[in-house]
Amino acid sequence: MFNPLKDFLKPKYVLGLLVSEGFIAAVQVFNGAKGPEIEKAASREVSNPEALQEALQAFLEEEDLKAERVISCLPSSQAFLREINLTVSNPKVVEKIIKFQLEPYVPGSIEEMVVDFLNPGADGSIPCFGMEKKHLAAHLALLAGAGLDPDVVTLDGAALLHLYLSAAAEGADEPVALVYLDGAGTLVEIVYGKRPDFIRVLGDGARAPEQVADTLRLYKLKRPETTVKEILISGRLPQDMDLVEAIGSKTGIKTSLWQPLGDPGAQGQGSLTPLGPEMSVPLGLALYAAEPNLRVVNLRKEEFLPRGHMDLRKLFLFSASALLLLAILLTLSVYQKVFYLEKQDQALQEEIGQVFAQSFPEAGRIIKGRELAQLEQMIAAETARYQGLDEATAREKTLDVLLKLTRIVAEDPEVQIDNLSLEAKDIRLDGRTASFEAVDRLTGRLTKADDFKNIKLVGAKMDRRENAVTFNFALEKNE
């Protein structure tokens, strides 16, 4: 499935690097829109193993290789290889327990080793690989001296497996033996069902034909019903013998020199000679980043994690946690606002219901949630009943005038209206209050109101019997 974010984050240049005693090889791959393309491939013999670090630094500078992402490997001869059967198939669970599952099969302390594995097979078998930390530390120190900090450190056998699965034809699931010579020994890896089904590391590369034949006989004991259909040879082959013919003659199985990049698209920009068998491991390393569905065996774990990887992981975890917390807070805030708005709405509905019941006791049943609409309907009905009183003005209804006067008078609780009459534009207002000051205040409020004019205080006197000041106003409505 197309994933633009994943394509954006994928490194553009991947360098597969093989550094062994007396030999350096590298393949640089460019991850373009059309898939991975090989841009550069180079190798170099190192006559003085003591100067391997200086030779590596000079090699990188002279070949002008881009180290955006570097994947290197250690020889499988330095690793402890074991196939373990577990009832657990979840890789995340296996990751937590695999180191202790390998412990009974290795000498020394398991805490002095880094362990990784490939995904469990259908039968529960898990190929796992243990590497002593001292070998990994020495390898990283060697590369660091040349200015490199690899993102992934794997095994040459894992690189060969990845290269075979990347180059194999669709549906090629017959057993195939990959034979790799590194100058000192021989690695035999039998791939079956797109998995490493049998791995054997042997010394003395000069005896490769006999060793391969012995390995195939041992594999036959494991799977009597299957037969290896083909043998593919790669690595640094001896010059004094035709190894392909010798192994084919010894085993009786079709044997050929493995050149996986005889396919179109194997070349990058410009012309690139098809890669020789000694470049199979660095090519497999360089193609690691191009295959997202294959689990990468990576020995950079625990204290050997790349510093940049640790920082990126912490940053990602912090960002994810912050976003999650922000989402929770925003959700709680929304729910809190909704809760208070619902409570406020409920209180308003109850208050409207009470006003409705007090104003229109004859209305009968009040529909819950429809109080405001019912109240508006009742007000409209009552207003229509007094439509005849609207002859005083063509612009304003009598009830509106009464409402405005009521609001003005209600501002002073000491004022009490005894009589209110409207005739056309003329208004008479009689009432009582506790003091002459209250009468003055009422006069001021009526004067400030824009709805009335010609405001006259007709009379104001103290009524000893009522102990109150009675007043009479005459005013007119504005047009």
Residues 312 and 166 in one domain: no
Percent of the chain with pLDDT over 90: 37
Residue 8 pLDDT greater than 50, yes or no:
no
Residue 196 or residue 266, greater confidence: 196
Residues 206 and 286 in one domain: yes
Residue 396 banded pLDDT, cuts 50, 70, 90: low
Query: What pLDDT, on the 0 to 100 scale, is given for residue 114?
Result: 96
Residues 35 and 113 in one domain: yes
3-state SS of the chain?
A: CCCHHHHHHCCCEEEEEEEECCEEEEEEEEEECCEEEEEEEEEEECCCHHHHHHHHHHHHHHHCCCCCEEEEEECHHHEEEEEEECCCCCHHHHHHHHHHHHHHHCCCCHHHEEEEECCCCCCCEEEEEEEEHHHHHHHHHHHHHCCCCCCEEEEHHHHHHHHHHHHCCCCCCCCEEEEEECCCEEEEEEEECCEEEEEEEEECHHHHHHHHHHHHHHHHHHCCCCCCCEEEEEECCCCCCCHHHHHHHHHCCCEEECCCCCCCCCCCCCCCCCCCHHHHHHHHHHCHHHCCCCCCCCCCCHHHCCHHHHHHHHHHHHHHHHHHHHHHHHHHHHHHHHHHHHHHHHHHHHHHHHHHHHHCHHHCCCCCCCHHHHHHHHHHHHHHHCHHHHHHCCCCCHHHHHHHHHHHHHCCCCCEEEEEEEECCEEEEEEEECCHHHHHHHHHHHHHCCCEEEEEEEEEEEECCCCEEEEEEEEEECC
Lowest mean pLDDT across 34-43, 48-57, 262-271, 272-281: 262-271
Lowest mean pLDDT across 110-114, 162-166, 246-250, 308-312: 308-312
Residue 45 or residue 350, greater confidence: 45
Residues 51 and 188 in one domain: yes
Domain count for the chain, please give it.
3
Residue 132 pLDDT greater than 50, yes or no:
yes
Residues 167 and 315 in one domain: no
Residues 218 and 318 in one domain: no
Residue 341 pLDDT greater than 80, yes or no:
yes
Query: What pLDDT, on the 0 to 100 scale, is given for residue 267?
Result: 39
Residues 337 and 264 in one domain: no
Taking only the tens place, the pLDDT of each residue in 199-218 is: 999 887 778 899 999 999 99
Give the pTM.
0.62
Percent of the chain with pLDDT over 70: 84
Lowest mean pLDDT across 117-126, 219-228, 276-285, 292-301: 292-301
Lowest mean pLDDT across 51-55, 73-77, 225-229, 424-428: 424-428
Q: Which of 286, 305, 324 is the last residue of a domain?
A: 305
The number of C-alpha atoms within 13 Å of 410 and in the hemisphere containing its C-beta is 6
**What are the angstrom distances between the C-alpha of 100 and each of 84, 132, 236, 305?**
11, 15, 36, 20
Residue 168 pLDDT greater than 70, yes or no:
no
Query: What pLDDT, on the 0 to 100 scale, is given for residue 308?
Result: 57
Average pLDDT over residues 391-416: 74
Residues 182 and 127 in one domain: yes
Residues 118 and 238 in one domain: yes
Residue 397 banded pLDDT, cuts 50, 70, 90: low
CA distance 107 to 279: 33
Q: Which of 236, 270, 305 is the last residue of a domain?
A: 305
Residues 328 and 251 in one domain: no
Query: What pLDDT, on the 0 to 100 scale, is given for residue 252?
Result: 94
Q: Which of 284, 305, 326 is the last residue of a domain?
A: 305
Range of the domain at 345: 306-385
Residues 378 and 453 in one domain: no
Q: For position 419, which CATH number holds?
A: 3.30.1360.100
